[in-house]
Amino acid sequence: MILVTGATGFIASHTIVELQNNGFDIVGIDNLCNSSVSVLDNIQKITGKKIEFSNIDIRDKDALKNFLSGYKIDTCIHFAGLKAVGESVAKPVEYYDNNISGTISLLKVLNEIGCKNIIFSSSATVYGIPAFVPITEECPKGICTNPYGWTKHMIEQILVDTQKANPDMNIVILRYFNPVGAHPSGLIGENPNGIPNNLMPYITQVACGKREKLFVYGNDYDTPDGTGVRDYIHVVDLARGHVCAMSAIDKKCGLEIFNLGTGHGYSVLDVINTFEKVNNIKIPYEITARRPGDIAMCYANPEKAKRVLGWVAEHSLDDMCRDSWNYQNNLNV
Ligand code: NAD
Ligand code: WQD
């Protein structure tokens, strides 16, 4: 059985769909600080399968151990964490506590229940200003520009040291690039609280009239059209990456790190233009100043995941824009 932490969140919900469709049994936990329990019903509508679930904070070691003692957990896929970059600058202690203390509490419980396999949600943010693009896993980790990034950086180190001390453990660190899109059913997707930090949810909220216009943060970067370039990846492709990572766990991989990206960089204007073309909606925008902490260009070399896991991202930017809009539309009905 697989334990999924942060189970009702954006990426975990899509991953549970792919895992269930591949025959895995899931037990999920989440403290619902950034998601809703209704997500579970929507997952069930897609897969026809139930998920064992409990509302637990990963920092609550006793509750966690108590709940998990009822199951035989072979692998934990650890998504739970706070992820808002700006908020992490304002509330660093909350972020370090939630993400790092939470992971340490989880690791202690996993050790106590004899679970030796972990897949962890890391981020391309650990590369800081990347030393080179496309970014391979050998690219040195950089200086993070915010506490959120440092939590990923530090948790990776904790996991590396934990696996080194326990060579019978298998730990896969997945560095996600920019997840967007939604399940094509429109039943699950990303629905951020408040003003979205990320580009795609901001665009869908402009498209539905919730916000007046998009602010494009800078057009004077050293990129083809001057706006920031990122590796946007469809969340369903990302979710499949976790199913493929299970094969590395099966092969007793020890410690492995994989980039999960498409290998293609798109600018902010590329995303706006594609969204407008695919969905036939105009996105009003205004160029404003650069956002502090942003980098010019970030995209993956995903060759290692292809070679070792047999994983390749299949969805296009058109698919990402269409599915993001489909999900936003479903929210509004
Ligand atoms: P999300 O906020 O939708 O999901 C995270 C889930 O974790 C939420 O449901 C939240 O309620 C839960 N959670 C938070 N703290 C918890 C705690 N202490 N105990 C139990 N549950 C807790 O975010 P997401 O986009 O699905 O991200 C999932 C993971 O992937 C996170 O670790 C995030 O840092 C990482 N990641 C996300 C992105 C991205 O752009 N979305 C990119 C790279 C990495
Ligand atoms: C993408 C591009 C912006 C919003 C963040 C985190 C990273 C990871 C993914 C978790 C940039 C531009 C954005 C807007 C804009 N998360 N933009 N107007 O910054 O690449 O990555 O999410 O690990 O850690 O930092 O993603 O979607 O915020 O921005 O012009 O309203 O869109 O400047 O070029 P980012 P993003």
For 62-95, the pLDDT digits (tens) are 999 999 999 999 999 999 999 999 999 999 999 9
Which residue's CA lies nearest to atom 27 of ligand 2? 198
Residue 333 pLDDT more than 80? Answer: no
* Distance (Å) from CA 244 to ligand 2 centroid: 26
pLDDT for 152 equals 98
148 flagged as catalytic? yes
pLDDT for 235 equals 99
CA atoms within 13 A on the CB side of 107: 20
Q: Which long-range contacts (CB under 8 A, 24 or more apart) does 312-317 make?
A: 313/233, 313/234, 313/237, 313/238, 313/260, 313/261, 313/262, 313/263, 314/234, 314/237, 315/181, 315/233, 315/234, 315/236, 315/237, 317/232, 317/264, 317/266, 317/270, 317/271, 317/274
Q: Which of 126, 99, 78, 103 is nearest to 249 (CA)?
A: 78
User: Average pLDDT for residues 246-252, to the nearest whole number?
Assistant: 97
Query: Is-contact 128 142, C-beta < 8 A?
Result: yes
Of 148, 202, 232, 327, which is the active-site residue? 148
* Distance (Å) from CA 302 to ligand 2 centroid: 20
Which residue's CA lies nearest to atom 7 of ligand 2? 125
User: Average pLDDT for residues 6-18, to the nearest whole number?
Assistant: 98
For 156-176, the pLDDT digits (tens) are 999 999 999 999 999 999 999
Q: Which long-range contacts (CB under 8 A, 24 or more apart) does 19-22 make?
A: 19/242, 19/243, 19/246, 20/47, 20/49, 20/51, 21/47, 22/243
pLDDT for 193 equals 86
User: Average pLDDT for residues 239-266, to the nearest whole number?
Assistant: 98
Q: Which residues line ligand 1 (CB under 6 A)?
A: 6, 8-12, 30-35, 57-59, 79-83, 98, 102, 121, 123, 176, 179
What values do phi and psi take at 53, rounded to 5? -145, 145
Cα(267)–Cα(224) distance, integer angstroms: 8
Q: For residue 11, which ligand has an atom nearest its CA?
A: 1
Q: How confident is the model at residue 183 (pLDDT cuts 50, 70, 90)?
A: very high
* Distance (Å) from CA 85 to ligand 2 centroid: 9
Which residue's CA lies nearest to atom 19 of ligand 1? 57
Cα(320)–Cα(232) distance, integer angstroms: 8
* Distance (Å) from CA 231 to ligand 1 centroid: 19
User: Average pLDDT for residues 276-280, to the nearest whole number?
Assistant: 98
pLDDT for 157 equals 98
pLDDT for 332 equals 73
